[in-house]
Structure formats: C-alpha cells, structure tokens
Amino acid sequence: MATRGADGSGQSPADPWAALEGDLVRALADALAARGVSATPEQVALQLDWSGSEHGDLAFPLHRAAKAVGRDPSELAREIAGAMPALAGLSPPRPVGAFLNVAAEPRDLAATTLRSIFERGPRYGHLDLAGARVCVEHTSANPTGPFHVGRVRNGIIGDTLTRVLRATGAPVTSQYYVDDVGRQAAMVTWIWSKPVAEWPEEIRAVLPAVDDPDERADRRLGRPYPAVSQYLKTHPEAAAEVQALSRALESGHPPARHHELVTKVLEGMLASLARVGIRFDELVWESRFLSSGEVDRVVERLAAAPHAVTEPNGAAAIDAGDYGLPKESARVIVARADGTTLYATRDVAYHLEKFGRFPRVIDVLGQDHHLHARTLEALLTEIGETRRPEFVIYQDITVPDSGGGRMSTRHGKAVYLDDLLDEAEIRARAEILARREDMAPDEVAQVARTIAASAVRYHILRVAPDKTVAFRWEDALSFEGRSGPFLQYSYARASSILRKADGDAGPWPFDVDRLATPPERALIKRLSLLPGVVARVARTTHVHALAGFAHQLAEEFNRFYESTPVIKAGEERASRLALVAAARQGLGNALDLLGLSPLERM
C-alpha cells in the first residue's frame, strides 16, 4: 500500500492524532458506560497518558473505573480490551495489568503525518482554530538604558507566547507599554537636559573618556542612569528637580528634548531585542492615556469607588484592605495631593483600553510585579470592571558571580544582552572557522550572529518561568546538548542531505512500508506530536515545554541520521528523503515558533 507524498487531496488534518484520539476516547467512554462507569469522552481524554512506553503510544489506567464499580482493574482491562471495536489507525487495545495500551498503526501514522507536513509546509504545527483576538503585553521596560538578561527573559517568554498563540490561529497583537511619563524617564531627560560640564562629578565619572556619537542610543544615553538613581538618593534638591520634571511630563508639558530622548533610547533597546528575534506589533505610550483624559476618568471613577478614601495630606487612595494585600500596601494611592497619578492608576486606563479591543489579555510580568498585579485587580474591582488580564509571571535571573540576588542595573549586578550576544558571536565564529573553512566571510558572520542569538534565546527559554535562573556564562554560551545551536545543527544536517540528493528538489514520493526501522518510526512519531504540543503550550502558556519538545525532535532526528543512510540507500532512498524533508520542515517550524532561525549550513 504505497502512499504518495505531496499533491494529495489537500485534506490532511492539522493534527495527525486528532481523529485517533477522538475515536479512542469515544470508544473507551462507551465501553465504560456499558459496564456501569459513567465517563464523558472529555474525562477519558484527561486521563489518557501520552508519554508512550514499550506497551504503546497511549495508555489508559482503569484503577479508578474499576474501583467505581467494585471490580478488579486488571480483569476490567482485559474485558474492555476484548469488547472494544476495531478503530481505524489504531492497534487493538492491549491490557497490561490495569492499563489498556493502544498504539497508532505506524504506517497510517506515517502517511497521515508526512502528508500533513507536505501539504501544510510552514504551517504544520499550526492549528487553524481561529480564536478570539489576544493582546500579549510583554517587556515594557522603562526607557532608561540597555537591556540586561534578566529583563530579556520577559521578552523571550512574551515573544514566544505570541508566536505560539498566533499558530493556534488567534489574531495576536504584541504590545510594549512605554512609560514615557514616569520618574525613570524623567531621570534620563533631567540629566541630558544639562550640559555635561554641569553634571555632578559623580555622575560625569561614568562617562567614557571619549564620547562616541555613533554608539547605540540606549547605551550612550542610558549610561548615566544608574549613577543618577544613586545621586538622587542623597541630593534632595536634585530629586526635587526630577519630581518637578515628572509633574511637567504628566501634565503634558514635557521639556523640548524629552520625547526625542525617550524615543532614541527606546529605539536602541528595541534594536537590542531584535538581535534575539523579539519584536512588537505596537508601542503603547503611557502619555497617551494622560493626554486623552482617560487617566482622569479613572481617577474620577476611583474617587467614587466603594473603598475610596482621602489621605490626611489630600492624596486620593483606595483602602484595599479587603483585597488581601499586605498591610503596608493596603492603601493604594491613586493620585498624589498635587493631582499627579501613579503607575497603577495609569495601568488601569491602559487595561480598560485593552479590554475594549481584545477578548483575551495577557500580561507577562516579572515576579517583582506580583503585588502590582494584585493591586491592579483590586483597582479594577473598585471601578466595577469584571474583566481581568491573565498574568504570566516569571522569576528572576540572578547573578551568583556578583554575590547573588536578582539582576539589576541599579545595583550594578547585570549582564547585558549585547555583551552576552557579542561573546556568543565570537565563540560561534571560532566554532564555524574550525570546521567550515570553505565558508565565505560574510556567511560566517551571518551564521555566527544567528547561532549566538539562538544559544542565548534558547538558554533562557528552556527553563520553566517559575524557576529562578542563576546566570552562568558557560551555560548561557553552550552550543551543545540542550541548546539552540543543537536544534539548528539538526536542521542543517537535514538541509545538507537534501542539498546533496542529486539536486533533486522533491517532492519525494514515499512508501510508508519503507520507513519501518525503529529510528524512522520514532522520528515520525515525534513529528506527529508537534501540533498537540502547540495546542498544549497555547493553553498553559508554558513555552518552555515547546523548547523541550524541539530538543526531543532534534534528538530523534540525529538518532535517525546516525543510524540510517539516506543518499546511499537503495529502494528506501526516496522514502527516506521524504522523511528528511518532513523532519526538516518540522524542525524548522519548531524553530520558528521558538523564535530561533533555521540554518541551512553551520
């Protein structure tokens, strides 16, 4: 039963397992019902074990069902196995102990999976679900200077989540909320509004001996920021100037150079993020909510809220004691006595706008913003808003070499994204030159850049968001094992085979009977799971799971590669080439979803 590759009927399922799972789950639910166990197909699906073992691809434990009807689980398993109808594409259920094991018919799975990949191409792994509009807000760092790695974790999680949600078919808008009116932005404008000669000595000391006007703006203009931050703590008159500047920004009267400065710094920061593939659909300027009057309306609504109070000095606040906030934070200040507002108040205005445009709103926040998230929720409740953002909270990146603690520019404990990438690039270049002496210099440079980006991005992406990451240079710069370059290497190997296959561009007709070795079947199985993983990651927002899956896929490909000749194969050649093409597509799609760049050669 030879099965042709591309040019099929065009009706391949997005997920090769969808029909198999549906049939199995319904049959199991029926079989259970016939024996007095009521279970919906959904409940059965929830108990299905996808981990796979020597017994099969899917397992269903019967302990619970057996207990419900007071029977022996093994016996029930045997009985149901005997009573199940034959299901297309699946082996007959096999009882092992209290488990019912089912395997996909390998030839059918291969045919379905390869057809789906060839028909869908770059969209394999995408789901076509056409979900509701989603807004993913992430990064939103103050425009005060270059990104350190800790801050970039936000962007890497947010950008990957954006890609994955988009792959489910939902229209996704990514937003960077730019605070151009806060105290932090005011500090940058404050110092650069003065001629350098008039800067306080301790701030001027951080400038380089020779100013380089071509240096990227976030570095050049952001350089004095940590020193300014320190200086203001001990110089109240300077702090008062910044406070006055902050008021001017809020009232819509920024100094002449303010917007230019913020924009330049931000552009530099965005250029830095772009090095690891992070980009935004929209920049949302905080000042917009002030000038539009929306912040004023929020202040008015909060003044009329159930727990509105006025502080002794005239500040407007919300007594949030009922919201479970820590004692010291129970009073949420909405507006100072002089009428200026605070971050949380303005954030309410921003979120109201988001709710108006998007049915689903996701905020990616560092764990230090956890309390802010709860405050925001409290304020939304106070104005009678029932919609909520979904918060994706991630933990810090710490710097053990600097005595521990979270990465922070102000505390001088930061590893900058650019420095890390630069070092990664140097090392990548050395690796390339050591093995590809024929590669042209500009390709070497390009490939080194790409490898560096993938190493850094993957290194941060691979860890679960609620795990604190201790930054170590050697780990972040690894190109082996569980790393981005490993994924790219697998892709490059696949590309290399196809390139050398007589210049044959495919598509290769495949015969599933010629893809029967264990490494081939394992690779196909892994490829078939990509859509399901995308669906799960979109649901859980656990983007690190996709990173783990991509590594398994690459591992499976490498095992196949090492064990199975392709170009020199005999009658299996065309089928194996088809599998290589499919693996390359699957790997490439996984790389795209992770925000990593596939490489034809490296």
Partner RNA sequence: GGGCGUGUGGCUUAGUCUGGAUAGAGCACCGGGUUCCUAACCCGGCGGCCGGGGGUUCGAAUCCCCCCACGCCCGCCA
Nearer to RNA by Cβ, of 180 and 511: the residue is: 180
6 scored as a contact of RNA (CB under 7 A): no
Alpha carbons 444 and 432: distance in angstroms, whole number = 7
Q: How far is the CB of 36 from RNA (least distance, A)?
A: 17
Nearer to RNA by Cβ, of 101 and 175: the residue is: 101
371 scored as a contact of RNA (CB under 7 A): yes
Classify burial at 233, counting beta carbons within 10 Å of its beta carbon; exposed 0-12, middle 13-18, buried 19 or more.
exposed
Block residue for tokens 């425009």: 143
Nearer to RNA by Cβ, of 167 and 432: the residue is: 432
Among 4, 26, 35, 63, binds RNA (CB under 7 A): 63
Nearer to RNA by Cβ, of 162 and 483: the residue is: 483
H/E stretch holding 316: strand 316-319
269-278: b (≥16 Cβ within 10 Å) or e: bbebbebbbb
Alpha carbons 209 and 188: distance in angstroms, whole number = 20
Among 368, 390, 401, 422, binds RNA (CB under 7 A): 368
> In this structure, are residues 121 and 105 in contact, taking their beta carbons and an 8 Å threshold?
no
83 scored as a contact of RNA (CB under 7 A): no
Using the Cα atoms of residue 467, residue 469, residue 474 and residue 478 in order, give the sign of their dihedral: positive
Nearer to RNA by Cβ, of 120 and 148: the residue is: 148
Alpha carbons 141 and 218: distance in angstroms, whole number = 12
Alpha carbons 516 and 506: distance in angstroms, whole number = 21
For RNA (CB under 7 A), the number of binding residues is: 103
Alpha carbons 108 and 102: distance in angstroms, whole number = 14
**With helix as H, strand as E and coil as C, how does 236-273 read?**
HHHHHHHHHHHHHHHCCCCCCCHHHHHHHHHHHHHHHH
Fill in the per-residue mask, 384 to 423: x = in contact with RNA (CB under 7 A), - = not in contact.
---------x-xx-x-----xxx-----------------
493 scored as a contact of RNA (CB under 7 A): yes
State the virtual CA torsion across 63, 68, 74, 79 in degrees, nearest 10.
-130
Among 85, 481, 503, 570, binds RNA (CB under 7 A): 481
237 scored as a contact of RNA (CB under 7 A): no
116 scored as a contact of RNA (CB under 7 A): no
Q: How far is the CB of 151 from RNA (least distance, A)?
A: 11
Question: What is the footprint of RNA within residues 156-185 (CB under 7 A)?
Answer: 179, 182-184
Among 17, 99, 176, 391, binds RNA (CB under 7 A): 99
Among 75, 281, 390, 466, binds RNA (CB under 7 A): 466
Q: Bridge partners of 90?
A: 104
Among 428, 533, 550, 583, binds RNA (CB under 7 A): 428
56 scored as a contact of RNA (CB under 7 A): yes
Question: What is the footprint of RNA within residues 283-342 (CB under 7 A)?
Answer: 286, 311-313, 315, 326-329, 331, 333, 336-337, 342
Q: Bridge partners of 408?
A: 413
Nearer to RNA by Cβ, of 116 and 182: the residue is: 182
Q: How far is the CB of 302 from RNA (least distance, A)?
A: 14
Kindly write down the DSSP assignment for every residue of 533-566, as one continuous string. Answer: HHHHHHHH--HHHHHHHHHHHHHHHHHHHHH--S
Structure tokens at 396: 């810090």
Nearest to 4 by CA among 118, 142, 146: 118
545 scored as a contact of RNA (CB under 7 A): yes
Nearer to RNA by Cβ, of 390 and 475: the residue is: 475
What strands, in cross-sheet order, belong to the sheet with 282-285?
282-285, 172-178, 134-137, 360-366, 390-394
Among 420, 497, 574, 582, binds RNA (CB under 7 A): 497
Among 230, 367, 402, 446, binds RNA (CB under 7 A): 367
Question: What is the footprint of RNA within residues 340-359 (CB under 7 A)?
Answer: 342-344
Among 267, 319, 443, 600, binds RNA (CB under 7 A): 600
Nearer to RNA by Cβ, of 355 and 458: the residue is: 458
> In this structure, are residues 413 and 407 in contact, taking their beta carbons and an 8 Å threshold?
yes
Alpha carbons 379 and 318: distance in angstroms, whole number = 8
Q: How far is the CB of 74 from RNA (least distance, A)?
A: 11
Q: How far is the CB of 266 from RNA (least distance, A)?
A: 13
Stretch that binds RNA, among 104-112, 128-136, 289-297, 364-372 (CB under 7 A): 364-372
Q: How far is the CB of 504 from RNA (least distance, A)?
A: 13
Classify burial at 462, counting beta carbons within 10 Å of its beta carbon; exposed 0-12, middle 13-18, buried 19 or more.
buried
Question: What is the footprint of RNA within residues 255-284 (CB under 7 A)?
Answer: none
Nearer to RNA by Cβ, of 442 and 562: the residue is: 562
Alpha carbons 308 and 352: distance in angstroms, whole number = 19
Nearer to RNA by Cβ, of 343 and 385: the residue is: 343
Among 163, 258, 301, 462, binds RNA (CB under 7 A): 462
124 scored as a contact of RNA (CB under 7 A): no
Stretch that binds RNA, among 104-112, 145-153, 255-263, 541-549 (CB under 7 A): 541-549
Fill in the per-residue mask, 126 to 155: x = in contact with RNA (CB under 7 A), - = not in contact.
----------------x-------------
What strands, in cross-sheet order, belong to the sheet with 331-335?
308-310, 316-319, 331-335
Classify burial at 558, counting beta carbons within 10 Å of its beta carbon; exposed 0-12, middle 13-18, buried 19 or more.
middle
Alpha carbons 83 and 28: distance in angstroms, whole number = 10
Q: How far is the CB of 7 from RNA (least distance, A)?
A: 24
Q: How far is CA 249 from CA 69, 218, 529, in A?
A: 70, 20, 52
207 scored as a contact of RNA (CB under 7 A): no
